[in-house]
Structure 1
Amino acid sequence: MTETFDVVVVGGGPSGAIAAEELARAGRHVALLDRAGRIKPCGGAIPPRLIRDFAIPEHLIVARINSARMIAPSEREVDMPIEGSGYVGMVDREHFDEFLRTRAAEAGAVRHTGTYERIERDSQGTAVVVYATRAGQEVRLRARIVIGADGAKSKVAKQEVPIAAKVPCVFAYHEIIESPPDQTGRFDAKRCDVFYQGKHSPDFYSWIFPHGAVTSIGTGSAQKGFSLRGSIAELRKSTGLEGQKLIRHEGAPIPMKPAKRWDNGKDVVLAGDAAGVVAPASGEGIYYAMVGGQFAAQAVEACLATGDARALGLARKRFMKEHGRVFWILGIMQYFWYSSEKRREKFVSICQDKDVQRLTWESYMNKKLTRRDPMAHVRIFFKDLAHLFGLARA
Structure 2
Amino acid sequence: MTHLDAVVAGGGPAGAVAALVLARAGHRVQLLDDGGPGRPVFKIGEFLPPAVRPLLADLGLLDGFLAAGHPVSTGTYAAWGSTRLHGRSHLFDPYGHGWHLDRVRFDAFLRDAAVAAGAELRRAVVLARVDGGPVVRERATGALSNLSARWTVDATGRRCVIGRRHGIRRRQDRLVAAYAVFPDGDPEARTLVEAAADGWWYTTLVPAGRLVAHLTDADLVDPSLRTPQGFRAALSRTVHVRRRLPGHGPASTPVPRWAPAHGLRLEPSAGAGWVAAGDAALAFDPLSSQGILMALHTGARAGRAVADCLADEGRTSAALADYTAFLDGIATAYRSNHAYAYDQERRWPLSPFWGRRRAGDQPLSGLA
Alignment partner of 2:147 out of 141, 147, 151: 141
- 1:29 Cα deviation after fit: 0.5
| 1:262 alignment partner in structure 2 | 269
CA displacement, residues 6-64 of structure 1 (integer Å, 9 cap, x when unaligned): 11111111001100001001111001111221577434111223134213422444322
Q: 2:46 aligns with which of 44, 47, 63?
A: 44
Per the alignment, residue 5 of structure 1 pairs with: 4
Which among 101, 114, 135 is matched to residue 91 of structure 1?
101
Distance 1:292 1:274, change over 3 A: same
Residue in 2 that maps onto 1:113: 123
Task: Give 3-state SS (helix, strand or coil) of 2:215's partner.
Answer: strand
**1:220 lines up with 2:215 in the alignment:** yes
Q: Could you say which residue in structure 1 is the equivalent of 2:25?
A: 26
The residue that corresponds to 2:163 in the other structure is 157
Q: How far apart in 1 are the matches of 2:172 and 2:126?
A: 20
After superposition, the Cα gap between the structure-2 partners of 1:168 and 1:301, relative to the gap in structure 1 and judged at 3 Å, is farther
The letter for the 1-side match of 2:211 is S
1:334-373 aligned at under 5 Å gives the runs: 336-337=343-344, 341=348
The answer to whether the 8 Å contact 1:280/1:331 transfers is no
- TM-aligned CA deviation for residue 223 of structure 1: 2.7
Cα shift at 1:103: 1.1
Structure-1 separation of matches of 2:255 and 2:115: 27
Partner of 1:329 in structure 2? 336
Q: Contact 1:281–1:333 (CA<8 Å) still a contact in 2? A: no
Asked if 1:306 is matched to 2:301, the reply is: no
Contact 1:71 1:196 in 2 (8 A): yes
How far did residue 71 of structure 1 move? Answer: 2.2
Contact 1:73 1:341 in 2 (8 A): no
Q: Contact 1:10/1:32 (CA < 8 Å) preserved in 2?
A: yes
Contact 1:4 1:143 (C-alpha < 8 Å) held by counterparts: yes
C-alpha spacing 1:25/1:173, structure 2 compared with 1 (3 Å): farther
Q: For the Cα contact (< 8 Å) 2:55–2:297, is it kept in 1?
A: no
Deviations 1:304-351 (A, max 9, x none): 122144232322212434x3443132232255346763599xx9xxxx
Contact 1:128–1:141 (Cα < 8 Å) also in 2? yes
Q: Quote the offset at 1:294 in angstroms.
A: 0.8
Matched residue SS, 1:293? helix
- Going from structure 1 to structure 2, the CA distance change for 1:77 and 1:209 (only over 3 Å counts) comes to same
Amino acid at match of 2:71: A
1:33–1:58 distance in 2 versus 1, CA, 3 Å: same
Letter in 2 for 1:5: L
Distance 1:251 1:13, change over 3 A: farther
Q: In the superposition, relative to structure 1, how do residues 38 and 69 fare at CA in structure 2: closer, same or farther (>3 Å)?
A: same
SS in 2 for 1:233: helix
**Residue equivalent to 2:279:** 273
Deviation at 1:301, TM superposition (A): 1.1
Contact 1:148-1:157 at 8 Å conserved across structures: yes
Query: Which stretch of the first structure deviates more once superposed, 274-283 or 3-12?
Result: 274-283
Paired with 2:157 and 2:109, the residues of 1 have a C-alpha distance of 18
The one-letter code matched in structure 2 to 1:208 is T
How far apart are 1:137 and its partner, in Å?
Answer: 1.4
Secondary structure at the counterpart of residue 300 of structure 1: helix
Change (3 A) 1:288 1:245: farther
Which residue of structure 1 lines up, in the alignment, with residue 188 of structure 2? 189
**Conserved in 2, the CA contact under 8 Å of 1:153 and 1:274?**
yes
Runs of 4+ in 1 over 6 A off after TM superposition: 244-249
Once residues 342 and 41 of structure 1 are traced to their aligned partners in structure 2, the CA distance between those partners, rounded to angstroms, is 34
The corresponding residue for 1:284 is: 290
**Percent identity (aligned):** 24
Q: CA deviation at 1:176?
A: 2.7
1:67 aligns with 2:72: no
1:155 partner SS: coil
Task: Give the conservation status (yes or no) of the 8 Å contact 1:295–1:314.
Answer: no
Kept in 2: contact 1:19–1:296 (CA 8 A):
yes
Amino acid at match of 1:34: D
Structure 2 runs not aligned, ≥5 long = 237-241, 355-368
Contact 1:262-1:313 at 8 Å conserved across structures: no
* Structure 1: unaligned runs, 5 residues or longer: 181-186, 348-394
RMSD: 3.1
- Cα contact 2:277–2:299 (8 A) shared by 1: yes
**1:178 and 2:173 aligned:** no
Question: Which residue of the partner structure matches residue 367 of structure 1?
Answer: none
The match for 1:81 is 89
1:278: Cα distance to partner? 2.3
CA distance in 2, matches of 1:193, 1:92: 18
For the residues of structure 2 that align with 1:130 and 1:167, how far apart are their CA atoms?
30
What CA deviation, in whole Å up to 9, does each residue of 1:150-199 have, x standing for no partner? 011312122222x136565632343233233xxxxxx342211101113x
- For the 8 Å contact 1:65–1:89, the answer to whether it is kept is yes
Structure 1 pair 107–312 and aligned structure 2 pair: CA distance change class (3 A): same
Q: Which amino acid aligns with 1:304?
A: L
Letter in 2 for 1:178: P
Indicate how the Cα distance of structure 1 residues 174 and 118 shifts in structure 2: closer, same or farther if over 3 A, else same: same
User: Residue 314 of structure 1: SS of its match in structure 2?
Assistant: helix
Deviation at residue 131 of structure 1 after TM alignment: 2.7
Aligned position for 1:294: 300
The Cα offsets for residues 130-150 of structure 1, whole Å up to 9 and x where unpaired, read as 334353211221110011010
Residue 101 of structure 1: which of 96, 99, 111 is its match?
111
Cα distance change on mapping 1:43 and 1:30 into 2, 3 Å = closer
Q: How far is the alpha carbon of 1:251 from its aligned partner?
A: 3.5
